[in-house]
Amino acid sequence: MDSVEVAQRYFDAWNSRVAKAIVAIFTDSGTYSDPVSGGPLSGQALEEHAQGLFGAFPDLSFDIVSSAATGDGAVAAQWLMKGTNTGSFRGGPPTGQSIELPGADFIIVEGDKIQSVQGYFDQRTFVEQLGLQAIVQPYAIGPFTFGVSVRATTGKLIKPGAISLTWIEVDTDEQAEEVRARGRQITQEMLQMEGHISTTTMVFGRRLHTTTAWENPEAPTQLLKSGAHKDAMDRFFGPGFASSASTMVWLPGRFNGMWVRCPSCDQMAEYDQGEGKCRCGSILPEHPPYW
């Protein structure tokens, strides 16, 4: 069996969607790496990586565009990865989007086994085909730390009577992914709670913040009985998870008004003070949520 045939067996294993079959084609010290693998993988780690992809893309397949020997035991293969994202990928919810991602593998073969696979593809194309935003920004510059944020709102046009602030700092990227997944579950529950207005979550590396607006200071106490929130608290106060956290509830000290531009005179008008009317006498458009 020549090196190109061994490489084909490797792709056949991927197309069978059996993670153990993929691992079996590698030598005991064989490694796999691609732009999202987090470094070289082998054995159990490679199996888990493949299972994660199959969970996210149950119909995952590789169409081989070209495959050729490039030297002693070396194979270069160009491929098109196809699949539909119907399962969680790296802690995120499924998007339902289909991908056709071009890429290439550079494979080193030893006998009838694979010693290494180095895969390449454009991460930006991958992310955009999933219907996600591709944001390029630094991790930190001086006192500034960069991250991402998500807002979930009920759309209520009610002034917040309380703001709850929570942050947690974790030890690993895996813990950060777990906190994000738990946060999505908790937010889904909060959206159904009496007195909830909106929630904004912010992620800065391994530090995660949540800011939630409530109608009154009693409303956040519902979280103490929430299934997802209680499970998260049990996880935090148990051994081996996260390094620190804080939670607090703040009450508004002063409300400076909601300003809305009048379509008639093109001036800003204070919505509440004018009871929805501009100084020019025109009715103001409905204001957005306060939070």
User: Which residues in the chain show pLDDT less than 70?
Assistant: 91, 134
The model carries a pTM of 0.67
CA-CA distances (angstroms) from residue 116 to 28, 119, 178?
11, 10, 30
CATH of residue 120: 3.10.450.50
Per-residue pLDDT at 91: 67
Q: Which helix (H) or strand (E) holds 22?
A: helix 19-24
Q: Is residue 264 part of a domain?
A: no
CA-CA distances (angstroms) from residue 288 to 16, 100, 243, 260?
51, 39, 38, 9
Residues 125 and 179 in one domain: no
Residues 21 and 108 in one domain: yes
Q: Could you tell me the residue range of the domain that residue 162 belongs to?
A: 140-250
Residues 94 and 22 in one domain: yes
Per-residue pLDDT at 222: 93
Per-residue pLDDT at 135: 75
Residue 12 CA to residue 41 CA, distance in Å, equals 19
Residue type, 37: S
Tokens of residue 112, six digits: 């009838």
**For the CA atoms of 281, 283, 289, 291, what is the dihedral angle to 10 degrees?**
-10
Three-state secondary structure call for residue 178: helix
Contact 68, 76 (CB under 8 A): yes
CATH of residue 205: 3.30.70.100
Residues 151 and 122 in one domain: no
Residue with tokens 């994000």: 180
Residues 90 and 148 in one domain: no
For the stretch 250-290, pLDDT in tens is 999 998 889 999 999 999 999 998 899 999 999 999 999 99
Residue 208 CA to residue 149 CA, distance in Å, equals 10
Residue 218 CA to residue 49 CA, distance in Å, equals 44
Per-residue pLDDT at 38: 83
96: left (phi over 0), alpha (psi -120 to 50) or beta: left
